[in-house]
Amino acid sequence: MDPSRYLLKPGSRLVLEKLPTRDHFGMPQKAERVAATEALSQEIGHLQQLLYATQHHRLLVVLQGMDTSGKDGTIRSVFAGVAPLGVRAVNFRAPSEEERARDYLWRIHQHVPRTGEIVLFNRSPYEDVLVVRVQGLVSAKECVQRYHHIREFERMLVETGTTLVKIFLHISKDEQRERLQARIDNPAKHWKLMPSDLEARRQWADYMEAYEDALRETSTPQAPWHVIPADSKTTRNLIVATLLRDCLAGLSMNAPQPTTDLSGLIIA
Ligand code: AMP
Ligand code: MG
């Protein structure tokens, strides 16, 4: 199966309600999806080693989605086969006072990947045109300016050698109700639930509108968005794993040649 079917083509219209939140990506059996994802994750692990060894490329993965859409779970599953040293995940929460005293990209830029590195953004500067817009902290006009900033920031990253993969985990409002309820019904999961999550759910329609504008305005040829159906956790993991494996394999990396000929060398 080809994950490019989930690509948001630059310049195209976007009505999230019309895009699927449920799919099986050609694998109707859950066990099959789990096994395929595990194999892909191992492949990603090998490709990560090549990425590090060749010291030529940088990979930045941006994950966005409503609460409970599975950003953490996706990272856990898709990168299970990657050595902990091989990947760096960065979680962006509400900015601190130090961060708010700067422009909103300041805290982002310092976390972009260095050469040979994979970085995962769990939330991103997109919160600065999503949650802040829904909460009325920035105007629609400021958001239009910010789409422009973000497009140009991403263009700069890509033009200076970063590969950018942007993923929106698309869940339905019904699926979110079930996942939030499951958190409420299980005291061990209460720590995951913030009062603001329930407030955000009440503003679901506003969030969808903010997402539609943000994704449409920032899906560019060099850094397009993928809208991934995420009501099924196993399908979501399978699609994201396929997407990232394909992306890394597309870099056509080969292990670097040793600087000295080691063949036949015997260690004393
Ligand atoms: P969590 O992902 O559960 O750790 O929650 C992080 C929280 O931080 C979410 O409620 C986000 O909406 C919030 N957040 C992240 N970035 C920003 C931002 N730039 N401005 C305001 N809130 C943010
Ligand atoms: Mg949360």
pLDDT digits (tens, 9 = 90+) for 209-255: 999 999 999 999 999 999 999 999 999 999 999 999 999 999 999 99
From the CB of residue 96, how many other CB atoms can be counted at a distance below 10 Å?
Answer: 9
Q: pLDDT-based confidence at 1, cuts 50/70/90?
A: confident
pLDDT tens for 86-141 read: 899 999 999 999 999 999 999 999 999 999 999 999 999 999 999 999 999 999 99
Residue closest via CA to ligand 1's atom 20 equals: 94
- For residues 38 and 229, what is the distance between their CA atoms, to the nearest angstrom? 19
Q: pLDDT-based confidence at 23, cuts 50/70/90?
A: very high
Contact between 150 and 129 (Cβ < 8 Å): yes
Give the ligand 1 atom nearest the CA of 192. 3
**Model's pTM, two decimal places?**
0.97
Contacts of 10 (CB under 8 A, 6+ apart): 219, 220, 221, 224
DSSP conformational letter for 7? B
From the CB of residue 17, how many other CB atoms can be counted at a distance below 10 Å?
Answer: 10
- Residue spans of the domains in the chain: they are 3-249
**Which ligand has the nearest atom to the CA of 138?**
1
Of the residues 62, 72, 92, which should be mutated to test ligand 1's pocket, given the most ligand atoms within 8 Å of the CB? 92
Pocket of ligand 1 (CB under 6 A): 91-95, 123, 127-128, 131-132, 196
pLDDT, mean over the chain: 97
Q: pLDDT-based confidence at 165, cuts 50/70/90?
A: very high
From the CB of residue 14, how many other CB atoms can be counted at a distance below 10 Å?
Answer: 18
pLDDT tens for 189-200 read: 999 999 999 999
DSSP conformational letter for 102? S
Q: What residues does 7 pair with on adjacent strands?
A: 226
Residue closest via CA to ligand 1's atom 6 equals: 93
From the CB of residue 122, how many other CB atoms can be counted at a distance below 10 Å?
Answer: 18
Contact between 153 and 123 (Cβ < 8 Å): no
pLDDT recorded at residue 28: 96
Q: What residues does 2 pair with on adjacent strands?
A: none
pLDDT recorded at residue 246: 98
Best CA proximity match to 63, nearest among 190, 166, 156, 145: 166
Phi first, then psi: what are they for 166, rounded to 5°? -110, 125
- For residues 52 and 45, what is the distance between their CA atoms, to the nearest angstrom? 11
- For residues 61 and 68, what is the distance between their CA atoms, to the nearest angstrom? 19
- β-pairing verdict for 225-229 and 58-65: unpaired
Residue 206 has pLDDT above 90, yes or no: yes
Q: Which two tokens stand for residue 207?
A: 């969030």
pLDDT recorded at residue 233: 98
pLDDT tens for 24-57 read: 999 999 999 999 999 999 999 999 999 999 999 9
Give the ligand 1 atom nearest the CA of 122. 2
pLDDT recorded at residue 258: 85
Burial class (CB in 10 A: 0-12, 13-18, 19+), 158: middle
**CATH: 3.40.50.2000, 3.40.50.300, 3.90.480.20, 3.90.25.10. Which one for 3-249?**
3.40.50.300
| Residue 193 Cα to ligand 2 middle (Å) | 6
DSSP conformational letter for 257? P
